[in-house]
Amino acid sequence: MSAPQTAPKGAVPCPECGSELGRSLLACPSCGRLVHAERLRSLASEAEDAAARGNGPAALAAWRTALELLPAGSRQHETVSAKVLALSRQVDGAAQSNVPAAPPPGSAWARWLAPLGAAGLIVWKLKFVVVFVLTKAKLLLLGLTKAPTLVSALASFGVYWTVWGWKFALGLVASMYVHEMGHVFALSRYGIRATAPMFVPGLGAFVRMEQYPAEPREDARVGLAGPMWGLYAAAAAWMVAFATGWGAWAAVARSAALLNLFNLIPLGPLDGGRGFRSLSGGQRWAAAGALAAAWWVTHEGLLILLFVAAAARAAMGGHGHPAGDRGALARYLWLVAALGALTTVPVATPR
């Protein structure tokens, strides 16, 4: 007598046709019913409610979770993907309206800063560092409530303390943390799940994404958000050094500027590499030209490496992204100019 047939481990019957469904299936192979239909309806309702309240990041988070429960290539997957892209661009538009512009031509600020040219524009932008710290303080403190982040940060602080002293070590770890929280902020704005920052003593820090950007435009903004927040951290350290005369903070400002410049190398998984993915061929050459100009002004050797990598990426990358991305190019050019300027900060012994 033959042994009785048993269902595969973890299999459940399809509510529609009774076929056995393995845990990894997203749709019934017999009738096509979505395995997670109830959960998908709940997520759709959650996303629509969030969108109605004007909470784009929450709506994006719900739709991205729904994408994970839909078979790739299905009509439902394509529909939800389109919703994600549309909401993502709305979030971009809302964020763009909050970017600080140059001072109005007739204002007192403009008359005072005009003779300084590009340096004057940087000074104008630096006043937004204070606003940045005040508005993002809650998020920055929230990250430190995660035990892995706090423990690994303390371990890195101890390593740097033994080499350079506690003042420089504290500023360096803080600047790395702010850089990584820039990625966290951008990821949360697009509804992308990610881990809290983790430090690797002596090597740096990282954030691991649990979901992925929907297109190069998102990836570019998430990648460049780290150096942008890192720029604010470097500028804050420079202002502390200027106000107090502490050489350690001047060293932190320059080191943070160099670390963030290094991350702008347009190669591989570095932030600059992610930023270049959405640029057209002409925009990549424009970025390479800006790097050459920044080196000519500052004589910072690291900028030569960035220029060579950018020129190679422009030459070997064909025409780049077909649509191009003026927003990503503007962010990249601003970062090159501002971080390049901060590398010229005079540095004393970091003790």
Q: What per-residue confidence (pLDDT) applies to 324? A: 87
Q: What per-residue confidence (pLDDT) applies to 340? A: 92
Q: Are residues 71 and 196 in the same domain?
A: no
Q: What per-residue confidence (pLDDT) applies to 230? A: 94
Q: How confident is the model at residue 6 (pLDDT cuts 50, 70, 90)?
A: very low
- Measured from the Cβ of residue 62, the count of other Cβ atoms closer than 10 Å reads 23
Q: Are residues 125 and 48 in the same domain?
A: no
On whether residue 3 sits in a domain, the answer given is no
Structural domain that includes position 22 = 12-91
% of the chain residues with pLDDT over 90: 43
Which residue intervals of 264-301 are DSSP H helices?
Answer: 271-276, 281-298
Token digits of residue 236:
């804050």
C-alpha span between 276 and 328 (Å, rounded): 8
Q: What per-residue confidence (pLDDT) applies to 2? A: 37
Q: What per-residue confidence (pLDDT) applies to 109? A: 43
Q: Are residues 297 and 155 in the same domain?
A: yes
Q: Which of 136, 113, 139 is nearest to 124 (CA)?
A: 113
**What length does the chain have?**
351
Q: How confident is the model at residue 245 (pLDDT cuts 50, 70, 90)?
A: confident
Token digits of residue 141:
């403190």
**Nearest 5°: phi and psi at 12?**
-130, 155
Do the Cβ atoms of 19 and 29 come closer than 8 Å? yes
Chain segment 105-138, per-residue pLDDT in tens: 555 544 444 444 444 445 445 555 555 555 566 6
On whether residue 299 sits in a domain, the answer given is yes
Instruction: State the residue for tokens 């503007």.
Output: 330
On whether residue 201 sits in a domain, the answer given is yes
Number of domains in the chain: 2
Q: Are residues 34 and 175 in the same domain?
A: no
Among 38, 62, 91, residue at a domain's last position: 91
Please tell me whether residue 204 adopts helix, strand or coil conformation. strand
Chain segment 267-294, per-residue pLDDT in tens: 988 999 999 999 999 999 999 999 999 9
Q: Are residues 70 and 130 in the same domain?
A: no
Q: How confident is the model at residue 96 (pLDDT cuts 50, 70, 90)?
A: low
Sign of the Cα torsion 92, 335, 193, 32 reads: positive
On whether residue 98 sits in a domain, the answer given is no
**pTM strictly above 0.85:** no
Question: Which of the two residues, 14 and 147, has the higher pLDDT score?
Answer: 147
Which residue intervals of the chain are DSSP H helices?
Answer: 37-52, 56-68, 75-96, 108-113, 118-143, 147-164, 166-189, 216-244, 247-263, 271-276, 281-298, 302-316, 326-342
Q: What is the mean pLDDT of the chain?
A: 81
Q: Are residues 177 and 247 in the same domain?
A: yes
On whether residue 2 sits in a domain, the answer given is no
% of the chain residues with pLDDT over 70: 78
Q: Are residues 84 and 232 in the same domain?
A: no
On whether residue 347 sits in a domain, the answer given is no
Instruction: Please give the C-alpha separations between residue 165 and each of 59, 130, 172, in angstroms, as whole numbers.
Output: 46, 27, 11
Q: Are residues 157 and 67 in the same domain?
A: no
Q: Are residues 206 and 325 in the same domain?
A: yes
Q: What per-residue confidence (pLDDT) applies to 107? A: 52
Q: How confident is the model at residue 1 (pLDDT cuts 50, 70, 90)?
A: very low
Q: What per-residue confidence (pLDDT) applies to 3? A: 39
Question: Which of the two residues, 135 and 12, has the higher pLDDT score?
Answer: 12
Q: Are residues 164 and 22 in the same domain?
A: no
On whether residue 282 sits in a domain, the answer given is yes
- Measured from the Cβ of residue 244, the count of other Cβ atoms closer than 10 Å reads 11
Instruction: State the residue for tokens 């360096």.
Output: 172
Q: What per-residue confidence (pLDDT) applies to 320? A: 75
On whether residue 335 sits in a domain, the answer given is yes
Q: What per-residue confidence (pLDDT) applies to 148? A: 87
Among 91, 121, 137, residue at a domain's last position: 91
Chain segment 156-198, per-residue pLDDT in tens: 999 999 988 888 899 999 999 999 999 999 999 999 999 889 9
- Measured from the Cβ of residue 65, the count of other Cβ atoms closer than 10 Å reads 18
Q: Are residues 301 and 211 in the same domain?
A: yes
Q: Which of 18, 9, 84, 20 is nearest to 51 (CA)?
A: 84
Among 57, 91, 125, residue at a domain's last position: 91
C-alpha span between 318 and 315 (Å, rounded): 7
Q: Which amino acid makes up residue 75?
A: R
Token digits of residue 152:
């690994």
Q: Are residues 71 and 131 in the same domain?
A: no
C-alpha span between 21 and 29 (Å, rounded): 8
Token digits of residue 178:
């702010």
Question: Which string of DSSP letters, residue by residue, matches 91-123?
Answer: HHHHHHTTS--PPPTTSHHHHHHGGGTHHHHHH
Please tell me whether residue 198 adopts helix, strand or coil conformation. strand
